[in-house]
Every structure is written in structure tokens, then in C-alpha cells.
Amino acid sequence: MNEKQLVSQALSKTLDGVLEVEQIAAIIEKPKSSDLGDLAFPAFQLAKVLRKSPQAIATEIAEKIDSTGFEKVLAVGPYVNFFLDKNSTATQVIHDVIAKGKHYGDEQTGAGRNVPVDMSAPNIAKPFSIGHLRSTVIGDSIAKIYEKLGYNPVKINHLGDWGKQFGLLITAYKKYGDEATITANPIDELLKLYVQINAEAKENPAVDEEGREWFLKMEQGDEEALRIWKWFSDVSLIEFNRIYDKLDVTFDYFTGESFYSDKMDAIVEDLENKNLLHESKGALIVDLEKYNLNPALIKKTDGATLYITRDLATAVYRKKTFDFVKSLYVVGGEQTNHFKQLKAVLKEAGYDWSDDMVHIPFGMVTQGGKKFSTRKGHVVKLEMALDEAVDRAEKQIEEKNPNLANKVEVAKQVGVGAVKFYDLKTDRKNGYDFDLDEMVSFEGETGPYVQYAHARIQSILRKAEQKVNLEEVPVVVSDSEAWEIVKFLKEFPNTVKRAADNYEPSLIAKYAISLAQAFNKYYAHVRILEKNDELASRLALISATAVVLKESLRLLGVAAPENM
């Protein structure tokens, strides 16, 4: 029984059926200050029923209530404030954490149901830049969070491998490209071609038209067009997979836009059969006026398809294949209107399951306040940034702990973890400015700070000579710092649920920072290894803290080194 249930049941008995347990639980609050207790019941709602002032009702409840399980119950104005029995609460929470280990906070809400997660989705033939980091790490973290709640996440890398930009790239290759040069350094050389051809197409409509023609050839199955496109795709995936290995991110499927190229005719035919397609200036559209949206352009005048055509085919395929309970799209906020149109077209076509599709937008990563742009050649390659972060972490480890046995591996965990954590601690809808100095710092609200707290606990536990079964140790809360940790540990399962409900890994990251800060405060005020009657209790407390810190980091895709 959790503390809210404990309070609700005690109040229900005292109120003698005036409010049901569920109604009481719904209005219980947390006081603004811990000095006012751990939970509070506002008596305002009972004033009309009992015909008394809320203050009088609160006083009566505090006098009558069975305070078993509580340190004390006080009336403070119109509130009944409950102070939990710290020792029994701490013992219950810490034993639960230690017994369950990494499974603390697990639930079976998802009942094994499928949740496709559309994530990462870099464009082939272009560098994997810092701009692709957010979708990759946010999607990976959300998948881990949903798995913890009993769902079956299906991670899909919906590669940008189809569309007019590839027609333009083929145009550039035919005009200026050299196979040997590209083979030696594929992504950099393809980027040069892409930047050059886009600049030309902007000035010369004939170049733009040539790009359209090559893409149309791709769609019509032209052998030469598809051969060149496939080569671009293959060399790009080799580069991408190396970066995914560094990030420790895996996928269940690499099914990009091209996978759905032979599935689009069926969706277009379906829209036509349902009388949803209308001609407009030679193109085919779906009218979305009733949704206050612009028409959805399904086919251009030359018969070429668009993102939305492919995304319609993708959505139908995923529903048929996975029978999803939710289908998540971790895609930048600039695509919000696109997803509104996508869902509206599916709704018009009678696919009510479109309500289960969720666009999870996020803010941009900038550098020096400026947006990255592949077209203009303003790109910071993610791999270079990761390597630089690892180098900086290695230098810091060399300064602080030069004799660390596995410092190369730890530097990788710290450097890469720092980049991922910094991204994930940012509220998803906000952007941030890329700053390696700040990311890799061992101080402040960073990944290394949390990792170091975990490593410090492991060091203390190794030094402890007392070997006891920590699941059976009665926990004694002798100071406010220990109680603060207990309250954080108790809150972890709820934090995981809120992160899932809001598709917001930053809630886990901020929680991890707060728990690490609470531990460091405890470490500064308490002699943990002092040999007295409470030593085992203190070891149990910090062991549980290490478990939850490690699991919090795991949900963010960040390693928790044992030594740093």
C-alpha cells in the first residue's frame, strides 16, 4: 500500500462514507514545504455537506483519525496534514528497491501491446549531424520507458531515402561526380554535391526540373536511377551504423520511405474509391477545410508522390503489421502541420485508429543561436562531436583518477553519456544551443555529475566491511538528508509513469539530477561508514539510491560506470 492509499483509507474510515476512497485520493496534495508534512487533505469540499467551516472540519478529522502508520496528523488551517512514519516508510521503500533492483518501478500496464516508435530518420547521402541527435535519443528513451511499463516498443528508423532531393543528387552526380572520389569519402563528397546542386537549382529552374525528372524515373523503376540511388543508400548506412554503435542505439527495423514506394498506389486508390481525391490545377488533393487545415497534396501534376503520400502508406502498413495500441512519431516541431494533415486524411478515410497516432515534437539544436542547414552546408557532424566529448572526458579522468583501470571505456561512457543526457534533460519542446564544455562538465546538472554520484556510492559500498542482507535491514531515518533521499526513491515509479504519459524523458533526467544532489548532500553531512548500530541502515539507503540512479540513467540510454 502506498502512502496516498494509506492516507485515503484512514480518512475514509473517519469520514464514515461521506467521500469514497477514490474521491479522497484524487484531492490529496503534497504540501509546499516538508515542514508541513508529507501529504495534505483539503477540507473545503466537505464544508457544504457537513455545514461547517473547512478549518473546523480539519480540526475534527485530526482529532478523530487513527494515526497508525503516521508520525503525526495535524490540522493546519483548512488542511489535515499527514507526517509519515519515517522509519517504516523508509524500510518499506528501500527493501522494495533492493528486492526488485532494476525492475523497481516496472508495471504491466502495456500488457505486451505494440508501440511503434518512428525515430532518428536521417537522410541518406547526408551527414549524420547534431540535428539528428534529438529524434534518436528521445525516441530511444521513450521506447525504454514504455518497455518498463509493459509495452512492446518497435523502434523504426524511417530513413529519408526517397523524394526529389535524390533526383537532384543524381543530377549533381551525373554533372560533377566521380565514383572513386565518392567511394573514398562518401558522405563528405555527397554533401558537397548536394550543396552545389541546391545552390544551382535556386538560380536555374532547368536544374530543378532535371532533379524532378530523375526522381520521377526512380518512381517509375528506371534501372540507372535506382542503381545510383541504391549506391548512395548503401554507403550512407555504413556511416550511420558506425554512429549508432557509438550511441549504443539499436533499431528493430530500418524501413525508410523507399520501403513504402510500392504501397502508395493502394492508398491513393483507397482515397479515390472513397471520393476523397479532388483535382486542383492538375494535382490530386484531399480537402481538409473542416479540420481548419490546408488541402493535403497527394500527387503532383507530374504524378510524383509526396511525403504525405508515403506517410499514409506507412501508417496503414504499421497498423496492419503491428496492430498498435499507439504509434509514436518522434519528429521535429516544424512538422506539426504535416502530422495534423496526415491524421485528418486517415480520419476522412475512415481509419479511426489514426487517433492512436501521436506526433512527439521537439525543439531544435542550434549552434551559436544559428540553425543547422545541410542545404547551406552549415552542419556539425554528430560523430565528430561524440569523439570530442569522449576526448574531453578522458582528459578529466586523467586529471582526477589517472590510475583508473578501464579509463578508455569509462571515457566513452562518460563522453557519449554527457551528450545524450544534456539533450534529454532539456524539456522536449524546447531547443538548446550545442555546447560541449557545458555537456562534459563533472559539475552542475550534467550526465557526468549523475554518473559520478553512482560511482561514488559503489566506491563506498566496496569499502564497507559489513556484509549483511540489505533487504532485511530495518532502516532508521536519523536526519533530514536521509528522509529527502527516501522521498525521492518513493517517487521514482510515479516519475516513470509521468514521463510515459507526457512522452518526456527530461522528467527522468531531472529526477536523476535531483536524486544525485540529494545523495551528495547526504554524503557531505553524514559519516556513512562510521561503525555504529545504523551502519547497515545507511548502506541499505545508499544501495537503493545507486539502483535507482543506474536505472534512471538506463532509461535515458546512458551508462552508469562503477568507477570514475
- Quote the pLDDT of residue 553: 98
pLDDT band at 376 (very low <50, low <70, confident <90, very high): low
- Quote the pLDDT of residue 306: 83
CA gyration radius, the chain:
29
Judge whether 178 lies within some domain: no
Residue that terminates a domain, selected from 51, 84, 117:
84
Judge whether 228 lies within some domain: no
Residue that terminates a domain, selected from 54, 84, 114:
84
Mean pLDDT of 75-103: 95
| 242 alpha carbon, distance to own chain's centre | 22
Judge whether 429 lies within some domain: yes
- Quote the pLDDT of residue 1: 65
CATH number for the domain that contains residue 520? 1.10.730.10
Judge whether 75 lies within some domain: yes
Residue that terminates a domain, selected from 59, 84, 109:
84
Give the lowest-confidence range in 88-102, 174-188, 221-235, 345-359.
Answer: 174-188
Q: Is 28 left (phi over 0), alpha (psi -120 to 50) or beta?
A: beta
- Quote the pLDDT of residue 84: 93
Give the lowest-confidence range in 47-51, 329-333, 335-339, 343-347.
Answer: 47-51
- Quote the pLDDT of residue 320: 98
- Quote the pLDDT of residue 375: 52
More confident site: 303 or 521: 521
pLDDT band at 141 (very low <50, low <70, confident <90, very high): very high
Owner of C-alpha cell 532502516: 475
What mean pLDDT, rounded, does the chain reach? 92
| The pLDDT of residue 451 is above 60 | yes
Judge whether 481 lies within some domain: yes
| The pLDDT of residue 366 is above 90 | no
- Quote the pLDDT of residue 443: 83
Judge whether 167 lies within some domain: no
pTM: 0.90
Judge whether 106 lies within some domain: no
| The pLDDT of residue 367 is above 80 | no
The share of the chain scoring above pLDDT 90, in percent, equals 76
Question: pLDDT digit string (tens) for 38-59?
Answer: 999 999 989 988 999 999 999 9
For residue 63, the enclosing domain spans 3-84
- Quote the pLDDT of residue 379: 62
CATH number for the domain that contains residue 67? 3.30.1360.70
Contact between residue 415 and residue 445 where contact means Cβ atoms under 8 Å apart:
no
Judge whether 162 lies within some domain: no
- Quote the pLDDT of residue 35: 86
> Residues 6 or more apart from 122 whose CB is under 8 A from it?
128, 132, 159, 160, 236, 240
Structural domain total, the chain: 2
- Which of 255-259, 368-372, 523-527, 530-534 tops mean pLDDT? 523-527
